[in-house]
Amino acid sequence: MESHRIVSHDEWIDARVKFLTKEKAFTRMRDELSAARQALPWEPVDKPYVFEGPNGKETLAELFDGRSQLVVYHFMFGPTWEAGCKSCSWWADNIERNVVHLAHRDVTMVLVSRGPLEKLEAFRRRMGWTTKWVSSLNNDFNFDYGVSLAAGPDGKSDYNYGSMRASGEMPGITVFHRDASGRIFHTYSCYGRGLDPMNAGYQFLDLVPKGRDEADQTPHAMAWLRHRDSYDRT
């Protein structure tokens, strides 16, 4: 970490107040962005998706659990995997205790993966999560919403509304609305760094002097991350 200027209290307050102006501008821009996101057009969902869940087979409509808004976290857990993605597990740790609060704002949140239900349930128990988790192994849901990728002849796949050299499972969030007649609409999806704001851990790291401190991580920025029961306690 680079050395920083050491100043008097009055100088520190002056610098902090000046930075507060930028923070307030960012907050106003974020509010504007949220309003624009909520004003995006919707597309109807007509495909009859059926998932495997702890209560048996469930349609997309049933995942709403009586509410009008559904948020799906696309958790990376492929059909042949024995454990869930470490990064997605960190996001799921953040999601876990928010589900009950979201439910009281007319929002149901679930995890969806292509892994078979028995593997999802075993890993959920290992992590101590209570968040509902269903399998999309036997439908096209993950492919249709851009998180299960099949590389083309050039080795590239469509992800995050662009093209990249990747295949297999990727993370994402998809939002749906169900109207009074029962019709379902896709209202929003985000991927990649668009998921950052939903991880409180990263928001806290952005506050501390070292920040995320991932620049020297290899082979990728999040190589330091572990499942929360797998860190070396010493």
Per-residue pLDDT at 4: 87
pLDDT category of residue 1 using cuts at 50, 70 and 90: low
pLDDT in tens, 64-117: 999 999 999 999 999 999 999 999 999 999 999 999 999 999 999 999 999 999
The Cα–Cα gap between 174 and 73 comes to 7
Per-residue pLDDT at 231: 93
With a cut of 80, say whether residue 167 has pLDDT above it.
no
Q: Residue 69: exposed, middle, or buried by beta-carbon count in 10 A (0-12, 13-18, 19+)? A: middle
Q: Specify the CATH superfamily of domain 44-195.
A: Glutaredoxin (3.40.30.10)
Rg of the chain over Cα atoms, rounded to whole angstroms, equals: 20
- Full-model pTM: 0.93
Per-residue pLDDT at 152: 73
Per-residue pLDDT at 234: 62
